[in-house]
Amino acid sequence: MKKIYIYLQTKIMKQVLLLMILPLPLYVFAQDAPDTARLPYHPMLKEGKTWLYKDHHFEEKIDGEGDVYDYDEYETDYNFVLRGDTVINGERAFKMYRESENGSSKYVYAWIEQDKRVYRIHEGTTEKVLYYDFNLKRDNLWYDNISGDKLFLHHVDTINVNKQSYNRYHFYTYNWPSEVFNWVEGIGSLDQGILFNGYTEILPCICDYITFEKCFEDGKQIFPQMNIPDAILSIPLKRKDNEAIYDLQGRKVTTPQKNGLYIKDGKKFICR
């Protein structure tokens, strides 16, 4: 189980490390990306609105000596649907259900949207957690209540998807190496949908991870995750030594341990 969890971490770290070895001419610095005029606000919450995610489950492959040499991956689609509403602390809230391919349905969250701010209320609680604030302006700080990250709003621009235009918010983190995050009005996170930094809480298994695929509104697909313009890199990132070895937390390793999972030249490998 631990090896599977480490393997999943690698998928995320690999994307970060690949950004770190991009050629310098591809970088776009903060002062080169001014805000554009914002479009009218696109609300996040609406009855029947659906975010489609794909669950990736992994099973270890064990060789004759008992070592893990690979993983089998199994995929399952899950819809996160806003269906029905309720009143929590005197406020109207949309109920969200996770629906699987086999027809099962489970209530997971309630959501409230007020003044361009989107709040989540976890099952069994009445506490509002601020998930998105689309009132933010350039240079504003955002403290993510789920991950604890401190984000900096670099700029706001627009993207056009399926003949529909959306305001997009570009953030970067203060930690090193810096990560780039993007919000899209009416959708949520560009790569995680509405469940930005919160999807791990509702995974069917700790061995899994999920990917955001599509968003539907009024029965129509309005936003596919694929074929979206790449995020602008907000700050310059340094090259890494291609021969260096790193653990899954991005720390340089001088003496890899046997059967440990590491990253070298942007690729994972098991030390033999």
pLDDT digit string, tens, across residues 21-70: 333 232 223 333 456 678 999 999 999 999 998 888 777 788 888 787 77
> Quick check: 167 and 184 in contact, CB under 8 A?
yes
Helix (H) or strand (E) holding 62: strand 50-62
Q: Report the C-alpha gap between 269 and 266 in whole angstroms.
A: 10
Confidence at residue 181, expressed as pLDDT on a 0 to 100 scale:
82
* Span 94-113, pLDDT tens digits: 999 999 888 899 999 999 99
Bigger pLDDT: 248 vs 23? 248
* Span 176-188, pLDDT tens digits: 556 678 999 999 9
Residue labelled with tokens 């064990």: 62
Average pLDDT in the 197-224 region?
77
Cis peptide before 177 (omega within 30 of 0): yes
Confidence at residue 204, expressed as pLDDT on a 0 to 100 scale:
58
Confidence at residue 236, expressed as pLDDT on a 0 to 100 scale:
32
Give the distance, in angstroms, between the CA of residue 113 and the centroid of all CA atoms in the same chain. Answer: 20
Average pLDDT in the 119-138 region?
90
Looking at every residue in the chain, the average pLDDT score rounds to 75
Phi-psi group of 218: left, alpha or beta (phi > 0 → left; psi -120 to 50 → alpha; rest → beta):
left
Q: Report the C-alpha gap between 73 and 201 in whole angstroms.
A: 20
Confidence at residue 237, expressed as pLDDT on a 0 to 100 scale:
31
Radius of gyration, alpha carbons of the chain:
20
Average pLDDT in the 169-198 region?
81
